[in-house]
Every structure is written in structure tokens, then in C-alpha cells.
Amino acid sequence: MNATLHDLHRPLGKTGLRISPLGLGTVKLGRDQGVKYPNGFAIPDDDQARQLLTLARELGINLIDTAPAYGVSEERLGPLLAGQREDWVIVSKVGEEFENGQSRFDFSAAHTRFSVERSLQRLRTDRIELVLVHSDGNDLDILQHTEVYQTLAELKREGKILAFGLSGKTVDGGLLALQQGDCAMVTYNLNEQAERPVLDYAAAHGKGILIKKALASGHACLKPGDDPVRRSFELLFGHPGVSGAIIGTINPQHLTSNVATAAAVLTGD
């Protein structure tokens, strides 16, 4: 019997959402251009994608991460999640569009609303649990000088989204995002821990934190024989501010192994 995360779901800050400590990232379901992976990969067909989602559910994963910038990821997830919508906490994004191999950014009120309405249609749902601003790196400028956050707050009041936040790149951006919103997605791994103050703030104020690039495995800083995945999860889940980590794999064995490792770390095995 494989280890699962069914009994290890945890609150995402004060959003009222309960999430599995690992979430499934779906960039590889929709896009194979301009993605920063060391090895090439083939986008899974519908059967493979369906099997991956079924496996994730069986392993106790209820968190799924997508974005308009992930090519056709949202359009594919809509039909794939049919009949199981209540089983999933969906995270999507606004702000970044990916077209013809290029990213462009639009944080205006009109585009933010358009983007969320489009995501609702693509995902074939009446609400998205969490929408994050897909930052271009200018976190503070986006939060202070565009209408994206106030528009997301309006969409939350309307019930179209249940929570919002920022997937950012800076400490200052992460802190402001948490002060004014529900959640921040931050980079935190064995190599990169500069955004740790955002985790500290979240822990002190009951805000949600999702980790991206959790397994940018710092092989260089490990002793021979150390398991980089286990060491990564020990780092993440050793911090009280961390709600969950997004793992973007399309390999069923990797997914099963990552879940087993996370479960062992979280239960002290």
C-alpha cells in the first residue's frame, strides 16, 4: 500500500480551504515551449493526463495548479476534471499571457476580470479557489500601481474566486501581497532561501504560503547519499509558514515517490 496524503491535509492560511501538502503543477499538460526544464518532454495525451489526475487523487492530492500562461493547461483540465470538481482545490493565475512562444503581461482591471472569466469557462466551473498574480518580477510596482489586486478583491466578493494572492519574486512583494491578500507563492528550496521572511510573516499572521521550485534540488549542498527530495521536504515542512508545495511532474513514479517522501517527513517516519 502506497503512502498517501489523505490524512495530512492542512489549512491554507485563513482562507477556509484545506489542501494537501503537495499540489500537482500542470504546466507540462499545456506547454512545452519556453519552459525551464533540463530535459525535453512530451505533453501527455488525454489518457495519460487522466491517469495522472486519478493517481494524484488516490495519493491524497487535492491541490492543482494551472495558469493561462501554461498553454492549453486550463482548457484540458476543464473536461478532465468533469464530475470531480468537489475533489479539487484549483489554483490559477492572472497577469501573464503566453502566445507564439512569448510571454506578455497585463495587470489592468479589465484584463484581470477578462482573464478570470476566461479561466472559469475553460475550467468549466463557477469558482476558482485561489487566483494568484503571475508577477513579471516587478512585484511592488504591480501591487502598488496597477488595479490587479483590487480587481481580484472584487471577484472574491462576487464569489467567483475564494482567495487571491501573488506568485512573486521578491521579499517586499511577498510581504505586501500577504498584508493585502490571502496567499503568496514563493521560491524556497535547498539552493534559494532569500524569500524566507515571507514565510516567517505568513506563520505569524496566519496567511497561506505555496512553494514553487521546491525541488530545485541543491545537490551541491548535500552530503553523498543524502536524498535531495527528502532534504527538500524537510526544509519546507520544517517551516510553520508553509502550507503546501507545487510539484510539476508528469511521471507517475516520481509523483508516487514524492508523496511517500512528503508523508514520511510530515509524520516523522
Structural domains of the chain ordered from first start: 18-267 (3.20.20.100)
CB-based contacts of 89, cutoff 8 Å, min separation 6: 12, 17, 18, 19, 23, 62, 63, 64, 129, 130
**In contact, 94 and 116? CB cutoff 8 Å:** yes
Looking at the chain, how many residues does it have?
269
Q: Give tens-digit pLDDT for 90-99.
A: 999 999 999 8
- Confidence label for 219 from pLDDT (cuts 50, 70 and 90): low
196 phi, psi to nearest 5 deg: -55, -35
pTM, rounded to two decimals: 0.95
Which range is least confidently modeled, 8-17, 99-108, 210-219?
A: 210-219
Nearest residue to 208 via CA among 162, 255, 257, 149: 162
What's the mean pLDDT when you consider all of the chain? 94
Q: Give tens-digit pLDDT for 174-200.
A: 999 999 999 999 999 999 999 999 999
Helix or strand holding residue 216 (H, E) = none
- pLDDT(38) > 70: no
- Confidence label for 226 from pLDDT (cuts 50, 70 and 90): confident
